[in-house]
Structure 1
Amino acid sequence: MFVYAVPGLFLLLFVVGVLRDRRRFGNAVHLGLLVISLSVAVIGAHDRLPPVAVALLAAAILLVPTLGTLVLAVLLILNGRTMLRKEGRSLPNLLSLLVGLGILGLIGLMVQAAFTHSRTLAVLVGTLLLVTGYVAFLFVCFVGYAFLYGRYGRLTAAGKADFVVVLGSGLIGGSRVSPLLASRLEHGRAVYERQVARGQVPILITSGGQGPDEHLSEAEAMADYLTERGFPADRIVREDRSRTTEENLTYSRAIMEQARPGYRCVIVTNNFHAFRAALLARSTGVNGHVVGSHTAAYYWPSATIREFAAVFLAHRVVNFGVCLLIGLLGLAAWWRL
């Protein structure tokens, strides 16, 4: 049973972290380490498993890293083409395509290293694989925990809230609410109506400033969208200074604290953005959790990669430090050839 001691430790860290604050990226990492250590423990105990379970385990170990990676690359490239066709050419819309091509490029280097027997190329590929493995591990942790947090957010929205904060996004033509933003507003309205049905009448805060290419603030356009569809104008407060998600939350927090000290709130954004918004809510001291509205399936891969990149860069010292260490180890291995 000692083999399960490490998974037990990560399980304890995960549970304690979640109980302390669900809005922590460390919870995602602990969950990932729990899954890996538990998998290793199960593999180590394969002699006590039924033959069918051993066969399935072996198939998973062989197929997931090989065939699964190739399939993932192809799907990302196809999604990138869809993004360019439906959303236009921009760097954010290219992300899934670039990641897919990067995976295929790495696979190509691996094949070349195997056929050329070049030690230098083998060290380079090994180093790239370690860096990619580290980033991929964090990405899987991010996606897995974001999914769990999204399920928790639905339960949170059912509790008492003094405010519903809807985060803004860009306007079409500088004045019109986009389908993405409309999804947030409709979900915010649904959260508000559930609160009213329970006897709680919260304030809805539309949060978003005016960009250089916009004719009015996002907060004003969002409020107009809601009131035109029958939402009570006296229950809307506009936060119209923010330019980023962090500012959305910082300025909305000031409004809420001034109006009602000890408030509780529900923050509404799109589902792909919910976990990063939750991390920022924690760092800015907002007393509330985040719920996500529906997003078109084709939009998910690029949007999720973008959200992960932002979280990765938010912890750049640690992450770049690990990548640099791996690079130095690869350089040392090459030097000893």
Structure 2
Amino acid sequence: MLPFAPAIFCFALFLVGVLRDRRRFSNAVFLGFAVVFSLIGWVAEVGSKSPVVGGIAILAILAVLTLGIVVFGVFLIANGVQMLRKEGRSLGNLMSLLTGLLILAVAVLLVVAIVRHTPTLVVIAGTVMALFGYVGFLFLCFVGYAFLYGRLRVRRDADYVVVLGSGLIGGRRVPPLLAGRLERGRAVHERLCARGGRPVLLTSGGQGPDEELPESHAMADYLVERGFPADRIVREDRSRTTEENLRFSRALMEKDNPGYRCVIVTNNYHAFRAALTARRCGVKGQVVGSPTAAYFWPSATIREFAAVFLEHKVINLGICLLFILSGWGLWQAIGLARG
């Protein structure tokens, strides 16, 4: 039992965090630590009974991890090429391709450092691997908990269903991505009504410089044209970002119902980040996601993770800087020892 004590402790913190507020990134980190410490505890348990089997277990984990990273890099490159063909060239659409190339570049650097075994290369490779490991761990925590968050049950009662905007086609038409959010919002609204509620559907989105009308108006028109009752729709038409979507929607909901509860609808790749933003903005509600095309998901998820990573830039960039300074200090120490 003792080898698994850290895993049990981290999992307990995870459970407490979810019960207090499932919209915390710390929940994802505690769950990640629970998994890592479980593996360490398992290896320690096996190794205490048979050192040979324990060594084989460590080698197996390292082999699976290494192969998984390489396969993931190749997959991201293939997905990046598909994104460029289907969605066109933009920085956002290049995320999976660039990440895949970076992963393979790090793998090549590690192999060269092992083969050449020069002190400078070893230090550089070690520093890069530390950075890679830190960011990779957080990414896996983000993806794993985002998957779990999307499957947690939302409240059975809510006063509002808030659908977040995502841009219009040709300045006035709802694109398929946004239509998916609206259809999910309608389904959530119908489910709440079937339970005896009388929720309001709130469309949220302002007017961009290339749009003929606010997104929220086009969204409301889309729903009304398909039979949704117009008197059950409220429009928030000032926002330009997700944070503004949530802040301005919160103001409208609090004005009419200070004790409101809501369900927020966006795309599945965006749900966890939207939940984190909702918590920061003080919005009382959970987030659900609508389906997204499979080829679009990897690049979009990387963008979402990058945004969350930079939202905590002080601690994350501080830790990255600490790794870099440690590598530089080690390189200097090696230089002095050789001199």
The TM-score bracket by the shorter chain reads: over 0.9
The equivalent of 2:185 in structure 1 is 188
TM-score w.r.t. the length of structure 1 is 0.95
- How far has the Cα of 1:114 moved from its partner? 2.2
The equivalent of 1:108 in structure 2 is 108
- How far has the Cα of 1:7 moved from its partner? 1.4
- What fraction of aligned residue pairs are identical, expressed as a percent? 63
Q: Does 1:148 align with 2:145?
A: no
- How far has the Cα of 1:326 moved from its partner? 0.3
**Residue type of the partner of 1:331?**
W
For 2:154 and 2:259, how far apart are their aligned partners in 1? 17
For 1:269 and 1:86, how far apart are their aligned partners in 2? 22
For 2:9 and 2:94, how far apart are their aligned partners in 1? 40
Q: Does 1:331 align with 2:328?
A: yes
Match of 2:210 among 205, 208, 213: 213
For 2:184, what is the secondary structure of its paired residue?
helix
- How far has the Cα of 1:2 moved from its partner? 2.1
Q: For structure 1, which runs of at least 5 residues remain unmatched after alignment?
A: none
- How far has the Cα of 1:230 moved from its partner? 0.7
- How far has the Cα of 1:100 moved from its partner? 0.3
Match of 1:314 among 311, 315, 324: 311
Match of 2:257 among 260, 269, 284: 260
**Residue type of the partner of 1:298?**
Y
Q: For structure 2, which runs of at least 5 residues remain unmatched after alignment?
A: 335-339
For 2:147 and 2:54, how far apart are their aligned partners in 1? 29
For 1:5 and 1:236, how far apart are their aligned partners in 2? 51
- How far has the Cα of 1:209 moved from its partner? 0.6
RMSD: 1.7
**8 Å CA contact 2:43, 2:58 repeated in 1:** no
Q: Does 1:230 align with 2:227?
A: yes
- In the TM superposition, what whole-angstrom CA distance separates every residue of 1:193-216 from its partner, at most 9, and x where no partner exists? 111111112110000011111111
For 1:206 and 1:57, how far apart are their aligned partners in 2? 53
The equivalent of 1:119 in structure 2 is 119
Query: Which stretch of the first structure deviates more once superposed, 7-16 or 20-29?
Result: 7-16
Q: Spell out the pairing of 1:85-96 with structure 2 (5 A cutoff).
A: 85-96=85-96
**Residue type of the partner of 2:284?**
N
- How far has the Cα of 1:47 moved from its partner? 4.3
For 1:185 and 1:49, how far apart are their aligned partners in 2? 57
**Residue type of the partner of 1:187?**
R
Q: Does 1:11 align with 2:11?
A: yes
The equivalent of 2:79 in structure 1 is 79
- How far has the Cα of 1:336 moved from its partner? 1.2
Match of 1:244 among 238, 241, 245: 241
For 1:262, what is the secondary structure of its paired residue?
coil
Change (3 A) 1:206 1:335: same
For 2:206, what is the secondary structure of its paired residue?
coil
- The number of aligned residues is 333
